[in-house]
Amino acid sequence: MNILTLVISLIILLVIFLVVLFSFLKKEKPKKEYKRIKTSSEEFEIETPSAIGLTLPSGIESIPKSQLRDIVRKIFESFLIFDYRTYSINHLDKKEWHSWQISLVLMLFKHNEEFYIYDQSIFHDFLLNSTDNDIKSLMSGILRKYKNQVEVDDTKDALCKDYNWSNRDISIIFYFLANYKKFK
């Protein structure tokens, strides 16, 4: 009887083991549910960036508006020569613009001057296909970068050697200046 009891015990244990094993295999793993966050521009509105409180080099702050517009127009003509709309996204990240140039263009924004660009097809598709919220967010990032990285007390010569601004940055700034008054 001892052997019979042992065999029955083993069979019972085997059956219990198989039942437990099959129950784990049959049991469906719960699916993780992810909440989709809607980011359409209809759900939220990014505030249009402001130049209030933006500190620029004193040499730029003292330039008369008419002269500033002429200087920025010349910077824009340089921008046009490079035809950035045909560049790859990676090439747009190349840093070719210095902080003095960026400061001059941002001064125009600080004066609340719109920069008229009639043919917007000069801009890269990444800008033309962006929403107003995208552009406002990109410009906010540029203003943060400017405040954090540009030493406004440096000399003009030092700022002209500070090539910290990409082709993408200058494209965003010009596109923003041409369109920001149309934003909600």
Reported as a single tens digit per residue, the pLDDT across 133-182 is 999 999 999 999 999 999 999 999 999 999 999 999 999 999 999 998 88
Residues 53-65: b if buried by 16+ CB within 10 A, e if exposed:
ebebbeebeebee
Band of the pLDDT at 184, cuts 50, 70, 90? low
Residues 89 and 112: their CA atoms lie apart, in Å, by: 29
pTM of the model: 0.76
**What proportion of the chain, given as a percentage, has pLDDT over 70?**
87
Is 88 within 8 Å of 151 (Cβ atoms)? Answer: no
DSSP 3-state of 21: helix
Give the tokens for residue 125: 């598709």
Band of the pLDDT at 37, cuts 50, 70, 90? very low
pLDDT at position 20 is 72
| ∠ CA 150-171-114, rounded to 5° | 85
Is 107 within 8 Å of 56 (Cβ atoms)? Answer: yes
**pLDDT at residue 32 above 50?**
no
Band of the pLDDT at 7, cuts 50, 70, 90? confident
Band of the pLDDT at 60, cuts 50, 70, 90? very high
Determine the residue type at 13.
Answer: L
Domain boundaries, the chain: 64-182
DSSP code of 116? -
